[in-house]
Amino acid sequence: MTNDAAPPGRPGHAVEKPAATQDNTTRNPPRNRPRTRSAAARVWASRLILPLSVALWLLSLRSVPIDRMRDLGLLQVLPPLFWVAAALLTLGFCLALADRRTHSAWLTGYVLALVALLHATPTLLYPTLRYSWAWKHLAVIDAMIRHGGEVPNADKFSVYNDWPGFFQLHALFLQTTGLDSSVGYAAWTPPFANALLLAPLLLLYRSVTRDRRLVWGAVWIFYSCSWVGQDYFAPQSFAFLLFMTVVALLFRQLRSSALPRPDPRRRDGWPPGLLVVVVVIVATIVVSHPLTPLMLISAMALLSLPRRSRRLALPVLIAAVVLTAAWDATVARSYISVNISNLIDSLTEPDKNVSSGLAALGDAAPGQILLSWVDRGLSAAVAVLALAGLLVRRWTRRTGLPLLAAAPLPLLAVNAYGGEMLFRAYLFALPAAAFLVAALVLPPGDRRPVARTLAVYPLLLTMFGALVFGYYGKEALNQYTLKEVAAARYVIEHAPPGSTLVTLTEDVPDLDVDYEKHPRVKLAYQEKDELRELVRDPVEGVEGFVFGATEEHPAYIVLSRAQDMNLYVTGALPADLPERMQSALSDAPGFTKVYDNGDAIVYRYVTPPPD
């Protein structure tokens, strides 16, 4: 019987087969021949399924009607062959995982194929970069290159001046390579970032157990449940990778690590050279993203509680606290001083941090309600299964992973983070939670590993199915056409400095280029009274933000396909508002249609002279 009170794979805890059983196996080969043939069949099946599923996936992307996406995004336009490929890939992984003789290269191939299938599909299907925030980050890099660093008159973009690490790194890369823009490789950030994340995940899990089935099972569960979507071209994905690297290196140095140590006699502690590397990584996190240093501080504070990890976690905790405090008190002081009152308010109303969000004047698309419940169900299932793993597999309590899973929870009481704190907490807890789930369903020392692994197949398939709801469900508004990009570039090329740019939502790609030169108004995010006026009378609602525009400083109003889809999907404003606005602006004095390519319309506004 497996001893669940201790971590698997440690000296003294392995369960060996009795000698008599081993002799029996040797002396009676005919009795075991069917099992041997069955094992060989599984091995060959797992090797054939990997290239077959990848081929089917690529074939499924040949003719996907992305222009038909609505409530459920990519879910409603991906062909059946895509789902067949996903089901086959998951089955092949289970077959490979069940055989202890499967080389790690095959398991790596399966995981990378899963990453490609999930995260490269939008990149292969869309004609240009997806997601509005990725386009914003391209604009920030461009502006920092033009200004040689801090961007003046940045307005709401000034937060990027306070945490410029990610942007300056890409600016340096562009200047070194001679590339004009990051747009070409930014589209590949999701698959690339997730592939890079495999290294710290493996290091973390292998530091806890030698059971290969458990390690790779946890990796697969992590990727199958990571629906939050913070893996695009952004400081968050960069900082999260660095966060996981620090955590994995810490667990690697523990004396109780399942990995062999260079010097077994050395007490737990950082080798001086490695500690310097870790501090540099922490500093990079601090200068790149406001939230991740707080997540790191919380994680290191909890990991400092057990004596076995205190000598490792305390130096990182001290470095993170000192560097974060120094940065916030100097470079980021302008942002912190302005937003300190919001932070204090959040501390007194922690419940709103979990459920904060903008009230909508319209109705969300029916499919979005389903998506919301599936996302919640997957997150709740991960939490419940992880808790069950902690209770049932008692040895996991000694690994430090439960503390890592709980580390993001205190931050829920600190700040709403634009209504996303609950999602970010889930993201940072998921690496540890995925291992606890794997420990529950794939326990080490199982005497029937093949049956157990195949029995987990439906669970893994269900996780994948739930993941794509959250990850693909909003793609109708996340993808852009080349015509929408062309419309934004028309505005940037023709708008004099000081022109006001007006949009319904933020979903206009490349419109933030030269953001320090053009004030931007996003109507859907204004005060409720202003929104009601806009819905009642689109012309008066728009004029309230652009009245006074002159020939030298005109206003440009951009209506586009993705903005229409945003309102339909989210219900932030009535879905018929863009059509009514287009009709009203076409006949209103002062408004002139200057561009129309079918996917986007641009109006130029100059305040008419008084009658």
Taking a C-beta distance cutoff of 8 angstroms, is the pair 390, 424 a contact? no
**325: pLDDT strictly greater than 60:** yes
Going by pLDDT thresholds of 50, 70 and 90, the confidence category of residue 16 is very low
**7: pLDDT strictly greater than 70:** no
Under DSSP, the state recorded for 559 is E
Taking a C-beta distance cutoff of 8 angstroms, is the pair 556, 605 a contact? yes
207 to 202, 257, 402: CA distances (angstroms): 8, 5, 15
Mean pLDDT on 553-573? 93
**19: pLDDT strictly greater than 60:** no
**162: pLDDT strictly greater than 50:** yes
**295: pLDDT strictly greater than 80:** yes
Length of the chain: 611
Mean pLDDT on 511-516? 93
Going by pLDDT thresholds of 50, 70 and 90, the confidence category of residue 421 is confident
- Give me the pLDDT at residue 546, please: 93
User: What is the three-class DSSP state of 577?
Assistant: helix
For 435, counting Cβ atoms within 10 Å of its Cβ (0-12 exposed, 13-18 middle, 19+ buried), the class is buried
Going by pLDDT thresholds of 50, 70 and 90, the confidence category of residue 591 is very high
Measure the CA angle with vertex 295, ends 294 and 300; round to 5°: 95
Going by pLDDT thresholds of 50, 70 and 90, the confidence category of residue 6 is very low
% of the chain at pLDDT higher than 70: 88
CA-wise closest residue to 470 among 364, 368, 375: 375
- Give me the pLDDT at residue 611, please: 67
Going by pLDDT thresholds of 50, 70 and 90, the confidence category of residue 261 is low
- Look up tokens 């925030």; give the residue: 133
| Beta-carbon contacts of residue 391 (< 8 Å; ≥ 6 apart) | none
The Cβ of residue 234 has, within 10 Å, a number of other Cβ atoms equal to 20
365 to 51, 228, 465, 507, 569: CA distances (angstroms): 38, 20, 20, 17, 5
Mean pLDDT on 529-551? 92
> Hey, which residues does 39 pair with through a beta bridge?
none
**177: pLDDT strictly greater than 70:** yes
**22: pLDDT strictly greater than 80:** no
Average pLDDT, the chain: 87
Going by pLDDT thresholds of 50, 70 and 90, the confidence category of residue 341 is low
The Cβ of residue 8 has, within 10 Å, a number of other Cβ atoms equal to 23
Q: Which of 117-121, 129-133, 332-336, 475-479 has the lowest mean pLDDT?
A: 332-336
% of the chain at pLDDT higher than 90: 70
Under DSSP, the state recorded for 102 is S
Going by pLDDT thresholds of 50, 70 and 90, the confidence category of residue 407 is very high
**46: pLDDT strictly greater than 90:** no
Taking a C-beta distance cutoff of 8 angstroms, is the pair 572, 505 a contact? yes
- Give me the pLDDT at residue 368, please: 84
**375: pLDDT strictly greater than 50:** yes
Under DSSP, the state recorded for 77 is T
Mean pLDDT on 511-538? 92
582 to 22, 593, 608: CA distances (angstroms): 80, 10, 19
| Range of 38-42, 109-113, 369-373 with top mean pLDDT | 109-113
Which structure tokens are listed for 202? Answer: 């493996």
- Give me the pLDDT at residue 423, please: 85
Instruction: Report residue 594: phi and psi, to 5°.
Output: -115, -10
**20: pLDDT strictly greater than 50:** no
How many angstroms separate the CA atoms of 43 and 152, rounded? Answer: 61
Q: 602: part of which helix (H) or strand (E)?
A: strand 600-605
Query: How far from chain centre, in Å, is Cα 110?
Result: 20
- Give me the pLDDT at residue 584, please: 94
**31: pLDDT strictly greater than 50:** no
**201: pLDDT strictly greater than 70:** yes
Mean pLDDT on 227-236? 92
For 362, counting Cβ atoms within 10 Å of its Cβ (0-12 exposed, 13-18 middle, 19+ buried), the class is middle
Residue type, 285: I
Which one is predicted more confidently, 268 or 310? 310
**118: pLDDT strictly greater than 90:** yes
| Range of 34-38, 349-353, 358-362 with top mean pLDDT | 34-38
Going by pLDDT thresholds of 50, 70 and 90, the confidence category of residue 342 is low
Going by pLDDT thresholds of 50, 70 and 90, the confidence category of residue 263 is low
Taking a C-beta distance cutoff of 8 angstroms, is the pair 478, 470 a contact? no
